[in-house]
Structure 1
Amino acid sequence: MLIRRLKTLLQPLSDPHLRLIATESTQNQLCNPSNCLNPITPINQPTLLKVCTILYQQQNSPDSRLHSSLSSYNPSFNPEFFLQVCNTFLYSCRPIYRFFLYTQKVHHFTHNSVTFNKMLDVAGKSKNIDIFWETCQEMGKLGLVNDKTFRIALKTLALARELKKCVGFFHLMNVFGVGYKLETLNTVVESLYKDKLVEEAKFVTFKLKECVEPNGVTYKWLIWGFCDLGNLIEASKIWNLMVDEGFEPDAEVVETMMEALFKTNKYDEAMKVFQMTRVKRMHDLGLSSYRLVIKWTCKRGKIEQANGMFEEMCQRGIQADNLTLASIIYGLLTRGRIREAYRIVEGIENPDISIYHGLIKGLLRLRKASEATQVFREMIKRGCELIMHTYIMLLQGHLGKKGRKGHDPLVNFDSIFVG
C-alpha cells in the first residue's frame, strides 16, 4: 500500500519531459557556479522510490539501521536528488531531516544554499520550530544565507505570529556576518506583502528602523499591502510618514491609494490625491493614472469631468487606449447620450472586448437588452473572444435579478449552460 502511494506521488516525475519542467528552475540554480558544488545527474526514479520508501518506513528507526539501508544508494545522492526527496515529503519534516543529517555524512555530497533553503522550507511548513532554528544557525555558520533564506524564514515566523522572532532573525544573521541590508529588508517586506502579511511586515520594518533605515520602496510595499486589505487608515499613516521623511510617492503608489479610496466610496479624497499629484508632479501622471480617474468619474456619472480629464490627457500627447475609451462610452450611455457613444465606437479602428463590454453594460443600464444583444452578435461576427462575464451580463439583462435565483429551471442561471 505504501509503495503504491509513493509511486502515485512520484508518477508526474517519471516522464522525462515533465521532470524537466518540474526541476528546471532548480537545475538553473544548481548550475550557478556560486552554488554548484555537485554535478547534476539524471534522477533514477526507481532509486528515488526506494529511498523515499525507506525514509518513510524507517523514520523512527535507530540511525544505524536507517543509515545501513541508505548506504547502498550513496552514489546516487546529489543536491538534485535531495530536492526531489523533499518534494515527496513537503509537509513531513522527520523523514527529510533524517535524510538531511545522513547526507551531511556522505563524503561525496556537499549541501549548498539551495538544499539548505529547501530543508528550511520543509521545517517551516511542518511547523517544526526546533529544526527550523537549528537549520538557520547552521546556514549562518556556513555562510549559506541569502535573500531566499530571509523570505522563507520571515514567512514561517510571521504565519506563526512570532513577531519578535521575525526581528530576532535579522539580529541572529547579523551575528553570523550577514549584516543589516536595506535590499534584504525590502525583499522581505515585498514577500510578506504578497503573502498578505503586511501587519507583520510593518512590525519588522519599524522594529529594525535603528539598524536598517527604510526607504521609499519599503513604504511602497507597505502602502500597497494595507490598500489591498482595505485598511486605508494604516495606508494613510504610512503615506504621511513616507512624505515626512522626504520620499515622494511614485505614480504606482498614487494610483494604488486612489483606487483604494475610490473602491471605499471616498471619491473626494481620491480626487484630492490626484489633484495634489497633478499640481506638484504633473510629469508623473501617465495613461494609467488618467484611465483610473476617468473610469471612476464615469461610474459616478460625472461625464463632463471625465471629458475634461480626457482632453487634458490628449493635450499632453498621451494616446488613449481601449480601456479608457470603454469607460467614456459607458459614462455617455449612463447619461443617455447614445449617439455620442456610438460615434466614439465608430472611430475606434480595432475595438476589443473592453469596448463591447462598455457598450453592453451601458445599454443594459438603459434597459435596452435587445440592442445589447445586437452588440453581442457584432462581437461574434468580428471574431472577438467571449468570456463568461459577457454571457452573465446579457442573461441578467434579459432575465433580471430573478434569473439568478429563480426556481423555474427555464429561467435560472444554474440550469443554463452557455458556450
Structure 2
Amino acid sequence: MASLLRILTSEPLAHKVNQFRLISTASSLLTSNHHKKSRHVLSLLRTENNPDRILEICRSASLTPDHHHLHRVAFSVAVATLSSAKHLAAVSHLLDGVIKSQPHPKPESFAVRVIILYGRANMLERSLQTFHDLERYEIQRTVKSLNALLLACLAARDYEEARRVYFETRKEYGGIEPDLETYNRIIKALCESNSTGSSYSIVAEMERRRVKPRASTFGLMIEGFYKEEKYDEVRRVLRLMREFGVHVGIATYNVMVRCLCERKRTREAKALLCGVMSTRMRPNSVTYSLLIHGFCSEGDLDEAMSVFEVMVKSGCKPGCECYFDLIRCLCKGGDFETALVLCRESMESHWVPSFSVMRWLVHGLVGSNKVDEAREVIAQVKHKFSRNVHLWNQVEADLSR
C-alpha cells in the first residue's frame, strides 16, 4: 500500500494509472493461477484411489484444511476417499501432520477442521483425542473446538458421545461457556436420536444463560417431532417460538413442508402452503422445490407440473434439482416433449441431468420419431459438458444403426 501511495504522489498521472493497472493485472493473474492449481489438485484427488498418491498430492500442493475454499474442499475429498477405502492410517498421517507442521502459535482453526474431518471419517476416537491434546499442541481450547467436537459426533452418528461431550467433557475443561451453535448441535443430536422431548430442557438452559434461541433452533425440534410423529409437540414448538419472540417465517414452514414430503404426505404439505399464502406470507424457491420433489417422488406428475407453473409465475427461479426431478418424472411418464423443453431450459443455465436420465430422454425422443431432436440433445451435451463424451459417442453411434 505504501509503494502504491508513492507511485500516486510522485509520477505523472498516465504513468501512475499504467503502473496501477500492471499491479492489478499481476495480482489477478497470481490469484487466477492459484485457483487453477487448486482446481487441478481437486481434479486429481477426485480420480485417485492410491493412498500413497493421495498423500503425495496433498503434500506437493501444500494443502491445508483451513486455507481458501478450494483447499478445504480438496482436503475433505482426500479424507473422504481414504476413509471410504478404510485407509485409516493414511487419514491419521494426513490430519495429524497438519497440526504438527504448523508453526507456533498454532491456530485453533486448524484443530477445529481436523476434529471435524476425523468425525466425517468415522474416526471419532481421534476427534476426541485431538480435542484432549490441544494443550500439547499449545492451542487454546475455546467453544469453537467444543462445537467442532459436537459436529464430529453428529457426523459419526454417535449421539451418546455427543451427550457426554455436552454434559461432561466441557465441564472437565473449566466449563467452556456454550454459545448458540453449541446448543443447536446438542439439540440436533437429541432430535436425531429420537429424544426430541429432551430438547425442551436445553431451551430452558438457553433462557437461563440468556442465549436467545433462533428459528433454526426450533426448526431442529420441529423436524425431530415430525420424525417421531408427535404432531401436538410441533404445535407446541410453534407456540414456544412466539413466546420467545422468534418470527415463524417461511424458513420454519419449509421445514414442515420438507418433513411432510419426506413422509409421502405431499398433498398435506401443499395444503399447508395454501394456508401460509392465505396469511400473505410468500413461499420461496425452496418451498416450491420441496413440493415438486415430493410430488415427483410420489409419481404425481400433474401436481408437480402445476406447482412448477405457479413457481415460475410467482417469479421464483427454479434450481437445478427442480429441473432434474421434473425431467426424470416426465421421462418416466412418457412425456418426452415436455421433458425436452425443460431440458433445454436447464442446459441454458449449464445444468445437465445425469447421464442415465439424459439417455432415457434421447431414447424416448427416438421412440417418438423425434430423431433430429435426439441428435440435437446429444450435440448440445457434448458441446457444453465434456464429461461422458465417450458414452455419448456410443449412444450416437447406436442411433445411426
Output the TM-score relative to the length of structure 2.
0.52
Report if aligned partners of 1:299, 1:331 keep a CA contact under 8 Å in 2: no
C-alpha separation between the residues in 2 aligned to 1:262 and 1:298? 11
Change (3 A) 1:310 1:247: same
1:169 to 202, 225, 229: 202
Kindly provide the CA deviation profile for residues 298-339 of structure 1, in whole angstroms up to 9, marking residues without a partner as x. 43222444456678x59xx95675549767534312324334
Q: Secondary structure at the match of 1:273?
A: helix
User: Structure 1 residue 156 and structure 2 residue 189: aligned?
Assistant: yes
Structure 2: how far apart are the matches of 1:275 and 1:136?
Answer: 52
Query: Structure 1: how far apart are the matches of 2:117 and 2:317?
Result: 48
- Decide whether the 8 Å contact of 1:117 with 1:149 is kept in 2: yes
1:31 is aligned to 2:118: no
Partner of residue 334, structure 1 = 367
Q: Which residue of structure 1 aligns with residue 292 of structure 2? A: 258
The answer (yes or no) to whether the contact 2:215–2:241 under 8 Å persists in 1 is no
Q: Distance in 2 between matches of 1:85 and 1:348?
A: 38
In structure 2, the residue matched to 1:272 is: 306
Q: Please say if residues 250 and 283 of structure 2, whose CA atoms lie closer than 8 Å, have aligned partners that are also in contact.
A: yes
Question: How far does residue 176 in structure 1 lie from its aligned partner after superposition?
Answer: 1.0
Q: Which residue of 2 aligns with 1:399?
A: none
TM-superposed CA distance for 1:167, in Å, is 2.3
Gaps of 5+ in 1: 1-8, 41-78, 361-371, 379-419
Assess if the C-alpha contact under 8 Å between 2:105 and 2:139 holds in 1: no
- Secondary structure of 1:284's match? coil
Indicate yes or no: 2:96 matched with 1:19. Answer: yes
Q: How far does the alpha carbon of each residue in 1:240-283 deviate from its partner, in whole angstroms, 9 at most, with x for none? A: 4543443322223312321221221111111221222233x146
* Residues 90-129 of structure 1 mapped to structure 2, 5 A cutoff: 90=124, 111-117=141-147, 125=158, 127=160
Displacement after TM superposition at 1:85 (Å) = 12
| Aligned pair partner of 1:217 in 241, 251, 256 | 251
1:180 aligns with 2:257: no
Paired residues for 1:307-322 under 5 Å? 313=345, 318=348, 322=352
CA-to-aligned-CA distance 1:360-388 (integer Å, 9 cap, x gap): 7xxxxxxxxxxx5944999xxxxxxxxxx
Q: Does the C-alpha gap of structure 1 residues 229 and 298 become closer, same or farther in structure 2, counting only changes over 3 Å?
A: same
Q: Secondary structure of 1:178's match?
A: coil
Q: Distance in 1 between matches of 2:280 and 2:329?
A: 30
Matches within 5 A, 1:17-416: 17-21=94-98, 31=108, 90=124, 111-117=141-147, 125=158, 127=160, 134-135=167-168, 144-182=177-215, 184-185=217-218, 188=220, 203=234, 205-206=237-238, 208-210=240-242, 211=244, 212-233=246-267, 235-236=269-270, 238-279=272-313, 281-282=314-315, 284-285=317-318, 289=322, 292-306=325-339, 313=345, 318=348, 322-323=352-353, 329-346=362-379, 350=383, 352=385, 374-375=397-398
- CA contact under 8 A between 1:287 and 1:318: conserved in structure 2? no
Cα-Cα RMSD = 5.8
CA contact (8 A) 2:262 2:294 kept: yes
Query: What displacement does 1:209 show?
Result: 2.6
Compared with structure 1, are the counterparts of its residues 10 and 253 closer, same or farther at alpha carbon in structure 2 (3 Å cutoff)?
Answer: closer
Q: Within 1, Cα distance between the matches of 2:324 and 2:365?
A: 16
User: Partners of 2:372 and 2:122 in 1: how far apart?
Assistant: 63
Inter-partner Cα distance in structure 2 for 1:275 and 1:84: 42
Q: Does the 8 Å CA contact 1:278/1:285 hold for their aligned counterparts?
A: yes
For 1:214, the aligned partner's letter is: V
Structure 2 unaligned regions, length at least 5:
1-86
1:228 is displaced (CA, Å) by: 3.8
Q: Distance in 2 between matches of 1:84 and 1:334?
A: 48
Residue 178 of structure 1: how far off its partner (Å):
0.8
Task: Give the distance between the partners of 1:84 and 1:266, measured in 2 at CA.
Answer: 40
Secondary structure at the aligned position of 2:241 is classed as coil
Distance 1:341 1:88 in 2: 45
Q: TM-score, normalised by structure 1?
A: 0.50
